[in-house]
Homo-oligomer: A and B are copies of this chain.
């Protein structure tokens, strides 16, 4: 239904947020066109979409690369995300009906069960999804799209950073946010959202390659073939350990919750 360049942009986006394509990775037109069996022009259109989304940067006559956000930009992205979610929280605290609160609680409960079952990969996905569900309940598609874009960019950031905090402290944040909001305690809820994001950002150390660099051909291989758009195996199971020794304060786990 959609154009082919959109489909390719979607695949590239997926590969980037799956950390299979890491920041700085060259996205050559010829190489991608051979991988996807399309013409260079279609690839170029896809890259334009990625660049507009902030996931790639195009340098004239040099080509496209997976975006490598600066520390400054990383902070700005998290600030923007906080701003959006705080605003949505304020709207929901006034307008959300019982069914909405129930949906949020149900989502938190599913995540809790995943954590209890030790399924970190599922917990991680649910943890991310919570924010998306949260914004969806505002019933504002424009806001949803803005938020989704910001989330994609934060996911990209995680290819570049090393979190040295204990993520277990964040596990209950979602639940507490829902509690506070439903009770109408907006200000504490907004502060908690801020703290939720700040605690993720605080220990960030950039200029490290957290994920191993794959060639585009290897990185994109799982998404091809089927054409069904089926989810490739979660990276948390196929993740490759890099050769370098772990440094102090460097953890290799994925975040179970943001």
Interface residues of A (CB under 8 A from B): 1-3, 5, 41, 44-45, 48-49, 52-54, 58, 60, 73, 76-77, 79-80, 83-84, 86-88, 90-91, 140-143, 146, 150, 153
What is the CB-to-nearest-CB distance from A140 to chain B, in angstroms, rounded to a whole number?
Answer: 5
Known: A44-B45, A48-B45. A1 touches B60 (CB 8 A): yes
Q: Of B52, B73, B153, which contacts A52 at CB under 8 A?
A: B52
What is the CB-to-nearest-CB distance from A99 to chain B, in angstroms, rounded to a whole number?
Answer: 20
Contact B140 A80 (CB under 8 A): yes
Contact B45 A77 (CB under 8 A): no
Contact B76 A143 (CB under 8 A): yes
What is the CB-to-nearest-CB distance from A188 to chain B, in angstroms, rounded to a whole number?
Answer: 15
Contact A79 B140 (CB under 8 A): yes
What is the CB-to-nearest-CB distance from A141 to chain B, in angstroms, rounded to a whole number?
Answer: 6
A53-B49 Cα distance, complex, nearest whole Å: 10
What is the CB-to-nearest-CB distance from A258 to chain B, in angstroms, rounded to a whole number?
Answer: 17
Q: Which residues of B contact A80 (CB under 8 A)?
A: 140, 142-143, 146
Number of copies: 2
Listed A/B pairs (29) with beta-carbon separation below 8 Å: A1-B60, A2-B60, A3-B58, A3-B60, A41-B41, A45-B45, A45-B48, A48-B48, A48-B49, A49-B52, A54-B142, A73-B141, A76-B140, A77-B142, A79-B91, A79-B140, A79-B142, A79-B143, A80-B146, A83-B84, A83-B87, A83-B88, A83-B91, A84-B84, A84-B87, A87-B87, A142-B150, A142-B153, A146-B146
A81-B80 Cα distance, complex, nearest whole Å: 13
A183-B90 Cα distance, complex, nearest whole Å: 22
What is the CB-to-nearest-CB distance from A84 to chain B, in angstroms, rounded to a whole number?
Answer: 7
Known: A80-B142, A142-B153. 17 other contacts (CB 8 A): A2-B60, A3-B60, A41-B41, A45-B48, A48-B49, A49-B52, A52-B53, A73-B141, A73-B142, A76-B140, A76-B141, A76-B143, A79-B142, A80-B143, A83-B84, A83-B143, A84-B84
What is the CB-to-nearest-CB distance from A94 to chain B, in angstroms, rounded to a whole number?
Answer: 12
Q: Which residue of B lies closest to A83 (CB)?
A: B87
A254-B146 Cα distance, complex, nearest whole Å: 29
Contact B5 A48 (CB under 8 A): yes
A52-B141 Cα distance, complex, nearest whole Å: 14
